């Protein structure tokens, strides 16, 4: 067995360990389910509203967007935060010291975050079907669409989060990235069809993975006739697969390169320096 195969197995083992720790720790469970719970409360109060002149509930239309936001925001920010913290406490330095250790680290981080986000999406889907209603998953085609959109969405966002974590120096700096991310979510039309946005914002939204996540999830979860409120009155499955696939390729190619370059610049003295600065701020 070659070194890269060992690194892959190490990454998968890391995924299992981190997932087990997450779902056996009360604080970890709270972190996973608190945001979905708050979102479902908001959707509950939106269930009687309707979108423009249609008969579609705002909550029903927003449910796929909520799932897409969880995939995008948690996929990008959460893994980025984890990498920044691992860099500060020396975890990345230890991974760097192991042959092909960064491969195992990357697989472990992406794998554990993918499982966490998937559990959140399932929780939203189940709770939404019960509380909000209107979810249309009565055919094999709808389930198939849901699965490939979620899978491509994870592949498109998690590597981007790894790149973000590698480029941002500290946890404090990463905090200020949340505002641009929220702006991206806000203008992407992920919560509602972008036909409600100005024309120039529609063009911007279609460059972002958020829009395609929202569109793909709406195509899977909403009744077929809901397509009338979409751009060009089409679910555009081929375009969705192409856009998310392109983002996934960019991220999967860039993330290992950026992480490796960042790891090469890590040293014990830098870890000690960051620890001393953190202690100084604490006191």
Output the DSSP codes for 42-87: HHHHHTT-B-TTSS-BHHHHHHHHHHHHIIIIIIIIIHHHHHHHHH
Most confident of 106-115, 165-174, 237-246: 237-246
| pLDDT per position as a tens digit, 6-55 | 778 888 888 898 888 888 888 878 878 887 788 777 777 766 666 666 66
Distances (CA, A) of 114 to 14, 78, 79, 162, 250: 13, 10, 9, 12, 18
- The helix or strand, by DSSP H or E, that contains position 154, with its residue range, turns out to be helix 140-167
132 CB-contact burial (10 Å; exposed 0-12 / middle 13-18 / buried 19+): buried
> 3-17, 112-126, 140-154, 202-216 — which is least confidently predicted?
3-17
Give the pair of three-digit tokens for residue 114: 């993918």
Mean confidence (pLDDT) of the chain: 81
Q: Using only the alpha carbons of the chain, give its radius of gyration.
A: 20
- Top pLDDT among 196 and 252 is at 252
Under a CB-based contact definition with an 8 Å cutoff, are residues 182 and 108 in contact?
no
Which whole number is the average pLDDT over 128-136?
74
Give the pair of three-digit tokens for residue 172: 């404090």
- Top pLDDT among 129 and 1 is at 129
Distances (CA, A) of 282 to 1, 173, 176, 276, 277: 46, 17, 20, 10, 9
pLDDT value of position 244: 95
- Top pLDDT among 246 and 197 is at 246
What is the DSSP code (8-state) at residue 167?
H
Under a CB-based contact definition with an 8 Å cutoff, are residues 178 and 164 in contact?
no
Q: What is the dihedral of CA 260, 264, 268, 271, to 10 degrees?
A: -60
pLDDT value of position 4: 75
Report the alpha-carbon distance of residue 76 to residue 71 in Å, rounded: 8
pLDDT band at 246 (very low <50, low <70, confident <90, very high): very high
Report the alpha-carbon distance of residue 10 to residue 251 in Å, rounded: 22
Angle formed at CA 149 by CA 57 and CA 129, multiple of 5 degrees: 35
Report the alpha-carbon distance of residue 266 to residue 272 in Å, rounded: 11
109 CB-contact burial (10 Å; exposed 0-12 / middle 13-18 / buried 19+): buried
pLDDT value of position 2: 72
- Residue 19: phi, psi to the nearest 5? -65, -45
pLDDT value of position 48: 66
Q: Is the pLDDT of residue 199 over 70?
A: yes
In 3-state terms, what secondary structure has residue 235? coil
């Amino acid at each position: 067995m070659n070194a890269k195969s060992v690194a892959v197995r190490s990454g998968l083992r890391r995924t299992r360990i981190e997932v087990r720790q997450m779902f056996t720790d009360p604080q970890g469970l709270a972190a996973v389910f608190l945001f979905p719970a708050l979102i479902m409360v908001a959707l509950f109060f939106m269930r009687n509203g309707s979108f423009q002149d249609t008969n579609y509930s705002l909550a029903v239309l927003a449910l796929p967007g909520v799932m897409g936001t969880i995939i995008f925001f948690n996929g990008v920010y959460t893994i980025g935060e984890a990498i920044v913290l691992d860099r500060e406490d020396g975890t990345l330095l230890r991974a760097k010291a192991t042959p092909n250790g960064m491969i195992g680290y990357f697989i472990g981080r992406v794998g554990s975050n993918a499982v966490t986000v998937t559990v959140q999406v399932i929780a939203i889907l189940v709770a939404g079907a019960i509380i909000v209603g209107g979810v249309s998953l009565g055919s094999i085609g709808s389930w198939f669409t849901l699965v490939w959109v979620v899978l491509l969405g994870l592949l498109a966002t998690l590597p981007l989060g790894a790149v973000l974590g590698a480029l941002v120096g500290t946890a404090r700096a990463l905090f200020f990235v949340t505002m641009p991310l929220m702006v991206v979510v806000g203008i992407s039309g992920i919560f509602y069809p972008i036909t409600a946005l100005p024309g120039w914002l529609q063009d911007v939204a279609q460059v972002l993975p958020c829009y395609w996540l929202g569109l793909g999830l709406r195509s899977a979860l909403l009744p077929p006739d809901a397509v009338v409120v979409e751009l060009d009155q089409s679910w555009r499955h081929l375009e969705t697969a192409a856009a998310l696939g392109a983002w996934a390729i960019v991220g999967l190619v860039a993330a290992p390169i950026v992480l490796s370059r960042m790891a090469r610049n890590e040293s014990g003295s830098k870890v000690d320096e960051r620890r001393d600065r953190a202690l100084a701020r604490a006191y």
